[in-house]
Amino acid sequence: METIKLKLSPVAHFVTHVEDLRSSARTIERGPVAPVVASGVSVESAPMLIFDATRAAAITTLAFVVVTLFLLVGGPPMLANMAAAMTSDLRSSHIIDLIEKVRLEVGRYYVATALINVVFGCATAGAMALCGLPNPILWGTLAAVLNFIPYAGSAATLVVLGLVALVTFDGLGGVTAVIASYLVLTTLVGQVLQPLVVGRSLQVNPLLIFLALWFGGVFWGLAGIILSTPILVACKVIAEHAENGAALLKFLGPPPLSSALLTKIRNVAKRV
């Protein structure tokens, strides 16, 4: 915190100077104005604030893990019994088959995403080591874990790496190298590797992902953010196998690709 404060002091002085000029102009225009006492976070209180935020995230993550384990153990039998009790035999068999397809597709999505994130984490660790950033394995692990959260995870990792690079390096060359290398890796993974491995059948409209992340974070915190994308994938699988799900499937699907980009992706897939 002290290092960041020291390196950002020129920006703080500039902002303070601008505020002084605004206050002077306001004083000239309207007369004397009562001084405003700035309230900020001191260096001494920063560790306690970080601890409080980490504790809340740890409690939410623990609750999410416990609920997930209970759902994995008792969820499918419970849903099957509920379907058999509330519908006819033919209808219940269709519902059970649909549940099984959702489980398989969401499991496939998670396996593919996990493999992509492992490769992405290794590449990030190597890039950070080449840039001279300390603890590259830690940053690779952080990038792999947070990449399970679409868009928001990559943005959070970029902010963390930028702050660490700002503290580590004296000049802007190292900071620029760290940020640029991570942006290149994120672009390659998001635009090339993920469409090839996951496929467009499991991809969802990015706007809906943003909205799901926002609503999930508002209503259930970290667990809602983690579960938002699998829930959208499950809804897309249900729409694919429902009788009247064509409109919902088109709504959830990604934007159509141009013919040239689609041809390039197919050529790369054939080479792989």
State residue 212's pLDDT score.
Answer: 78
Query: Each residue's pLDDT tens digit in the chain (272 positions)?
Result: 677 667 667 767 777 777 777 777 666 766 554 554 444 445 555 566 666 667 766 777 777 677 767 766 666 666 666 666 666 555 666 777 777 777 787 788 888 888 999 999 999 999 999 998 889 999 999 999 988 887 788 888 999 999 899 888 887 888 899 999 999 999 888 777 776 776 555 667 777 777 877 887 777 776 777 777 778 878 887 777 777 777 777 777 766 655 555 566 566 666 66
Query: Which ranges of the chain does DSSP label H, i.e. alpha helix?
Result: 2-7, 9-30, 46-86, 89-131, 136-146, 152-168, 172-188, 194-198, 206-241, 246-252, 259-271
State residue 179's pLDDT score.
Answer: 92
State residue 184's pLDDT score.
Answer: 92
State residue 139's pLDDT score.
Answer: 93
Give the integer Cα–Cα distance in Å for 35 and 54: 35
State residue 86's pLDDT score.
Answer: 61
Provide the token pair at 200. 């467009």
State residue 125's pLDDT score.
Answer: 94
pTM of the model: 0.61
User: 152-168 and 136-146 are packed helices; what angle lies between their axes, rounded to 10 degrees?
Assistant: 160
Give the integer Cα–Cα distance in Å for 231 and 272: 30
State residue 140's pLDDT score.
Answer: 93
Ordered by start, the domain boundaries in the chain are 105-271
Which 8-state DSSP code applies to residue 207? H
The three-state secondary structure class of 33 is coil
Give the integer Cα–Cα distance in Å for 185 and 121: 10
Phi, psi of 217 (to 5 degrees): -70, -35
Give the integer Cα–Cα distance in Å for 246 and 206: 19
* Residue 79: closest CA among 97, 104, 63, 64: 97
State residue 66's pLDDT score.
Answer: 76
State residue 226's pLDDT score.
Answer: 74
Give the integer Cα–Cα distance in Å for 133 and 173: 12
Give the integer Cα–Cα distance in Å for 67 and 133: 37
Give the integer Cα–Cα distance in Å for 225 and 228: 5
Name, in order, each residue with C-beta under 8 angstroms of 168's C-beta and a sequence gap of 6 or more: 132, 133, 134, 174
State residue 71's pLDDT score.
Answer: 67
